[in-house]
Structure 1
Amino acid sequence: MHNTLPFIVPELSSMKRYPEELYYRGNVELLHRSKISIVGTRRPNPYTRAMTLELSRKLSHSGVVIISGAAAGVDAIAHHGAGAENTVAILPSGIDIRYPAANAKLIEAIENQGLTLTPFEPGFGAREWSFVVRNEIVVALGDALIVTEADIGSGSMRSVEYALAMEKPIYVLPHRLHESTATRLLLREGKASAIDDIDSFVAHISQKGKNRCEDTPFIAFCRNNPTYEDAMGHFPSEIFEAELSGIIEVRNGRVAVV
């Protein structure tokens, strides 16, 4: 069994194009909570495996929902750490196809206890381009993106490009020389922040999530930097008042909370 989402997901307004349909299995209430996206290599080293597991587990225990793509490696570890009941898996295939097959049991557990989501109709097999769409949704749903390990030219860097375009905060794990070359480059270029202490980072993220829960639906929508046109379409009366009051600003055609 599968369903299509009966409501708009504000976070996805930051995508280049909002999906025509979103198919799901599981608990859609997870989409209304504070969320963090975690991505990375399919072949993580032991340090990355341990830190990704600890990070996702502690974020989950603090009330944060973990978003990832159900792929081998970092994705699967992030889902496991969060626990099936507190994670959202974005699929590059139809909702009825548990891809990759190696993670079929994990995806089934998430279907039953958490949430699986895809813009692709049932029966659709994963294609090279559908992974790109999957990655954009993974990034858009999270309040921030964590890349625990990635090399230059890897698929994870496509997710980083989306995060930069969406103006999402990017966090990475510190690595030794010659390891995780892409995340080290992001740090050198000032495009990401290092997670030097997991407990402090989790406390910071969970507090931000609590603050977001106190937002009105309009402010929560605007925190995702929607286009002015989208904001007008969803909140035509609120936007004028908020702009006059200085609560929001319009920058390059997008709405930003001041």
Structure 2
Amino acid sequence: MPVNSVKNRLLHIHYSHILSNKQLLEWLSLDPSLTSWEKSSSPFWPSALKLSSSQKIRLQDYHSSTCIACAINQLKQKQVSFITIFDNHYPPQLKEIYDPPAVIYTKGNVNHLNASYFLGIVGARKADRYTISSLQKIIPPLIDMNICIVSGMAQGADGAAHQLAMNGFTIGVLGAGFDYQYPSTHTKLYEQMIKSQLLISEYPPYLRPDKRFFPSRNRIIAGLSRGVLVTQAALRSGSMITVDRALEEGRDVFALPGPIDHELSQGTNHLIRQGAVLITCAQHIAEEWGIR
């Protein structure tokens, strides 16, 4: 690929993390080849972007100090690959969402993105034995059906889902760059995922974890998946935000029923009342998706 290709120009701008994803997508809609970025030694951008003065100054400084090849070499040194929205192997279901990530950074086996079925699994970070035992029952048969498990690498339900899917296919979606293993208790899980599974992030490697990033991560979990399974969740939680994104994108929502007096069952029981599919075994998901 030529260094000055549109894919690399897109990476170059994205790597700066000066623009929001929505601003970058808007730039692409106004200038699909991004020639305005590399047309001269002093870049310009469509006036319709309405960038702040700070963004303009920072873009000018970044353009003069960091070349395209520099950004690419930094990724190579960190053993991080990238996929742009222009690439044929960019997940088609993710491209369909309202604000698809313009660039995805990856570590591990990108062939996982070619799976036929993706199931997002979300739940409480303080998941109890009920979540763990339920996933122990549900995930192995899903793996036998070649369903790829997508989750967020957080403590609790996420970590359990990834661990139980190690004999099959699982994708971890990060809320930070690859330089930071968050949470730190998942260092071994990170290593396992990179070795045999797949980790992805829409954030350049140098970006630290930030609570503002996690809702955006949740939209990718929902966007990649055909459906999302909620194990346990309070009524106000990140899992419920993921469900909102799944519903906005027309994805299926599945939920485990729980005790009526348990705080972490309030969210899932509410979802079931609102029409989510009640799940007690893997076969229920297979039936919904017509998998035999």
The answer, yes or no, to whether TM exceeds 0.5 is yes
For 1:200 and 1:4, how far apart are their aligned partners in 2?
A: 35
Confirm or deny: 8 A CA contact 1:62 1:206 kept in the other structure.
no
Q: 2:215 aligns with which of 128, 132, 148?
A: 132
What SS does the aligned partner of 1:22 have?
A: strand
TM-score by length of 1: 0.76
Write out aligned runs for 1:90-239 (5 A).
90-179=173-262, 180-190=265-275, 192-196=276-280, 198-204=281-287, 207-208=290-291
Q: 1:77 aligns with which of 157, 160, 169?
A: 160
Which protein, 1 or 2, shows the higher relative CO under an 8 Å CA cutoff with sep ≥ 6? 1
1:3 aligns with 2:81: yes
Query: Which structure 1 residue ranges, 5 or more long, are not aligned?
Result: 211-258
For 1:206 and 1:113, how far apart are their aligned partners in 2?
A: 27
Confirm or deny: 8 A CA contact 2:119 2:228 kept in the other structure.
yes
For 2:96 and 2:246, how far apart are their aligned partners in 1?
A: 10
Confirm or deny: 8 A CA contact 2:143 2:168 kept in the other structure.
no
For 1:53 and 1:74, how far apart are their aligned partners in 2?
A: 11
1:27 aligns with 2:105: no
| 1:94–1:85 distance in 2 versus 1, CA, 3 Å | farther
Q: 2:134 aligns with which of 51, 60, 67?
A: 51
What SS does the aligned partner of 2:103 have?
A: coil
Shift of 1:173: 0.8
Letter in 2 for 1:92: G
Letter in 2 for 1:9: P
Shift of 1:149: 0.5
1:17 aligns with 2:115: no
Task: Specify the alignment match of 2:11 in structure 1.
Answer: none
Confirm or deny: 8 A CA contact 2:151 2:171 kept in the other structure.
yes
| 1:22–1:10 distance in 2 versus 1, CA, 3 Å | same
User: Please, what is the CA RMSD of the aligned residues?
Assistant: 1.7
Letter in 2 for 1:118: S
What SS does the aligned partner of 1:94 have?
A: coil
Shift of 1:53: 2.6
Task: Specify the alignment match of 1:216 in structure 2.
Answer: none
For 1:199 and 1:57, how far apart are their aligned partners in 2?
A: 8
Shift of 1:85: 5.2
Confirm or deny: 8 A CA contact 2:143 2:167 kept in the other structure.
no
Identity of aligned residues (%): 29
Shift of 1:29: 1.0
Aligned residues: 207
Letter in 2 for 1:57: P
For 2:274 and 2:286, how far apart are their aligned partners in 1?
A: 26
TM-score by length of 2: 0.67
Q: 2:146 aligns with which of 63, 82, 87?
A: 63
| Range with greater deviation from structure 2 (92-101 or 36-45) | 92-101
| 1:206–1:15 distance in 2 versus 1, CA, 3 Å | closer
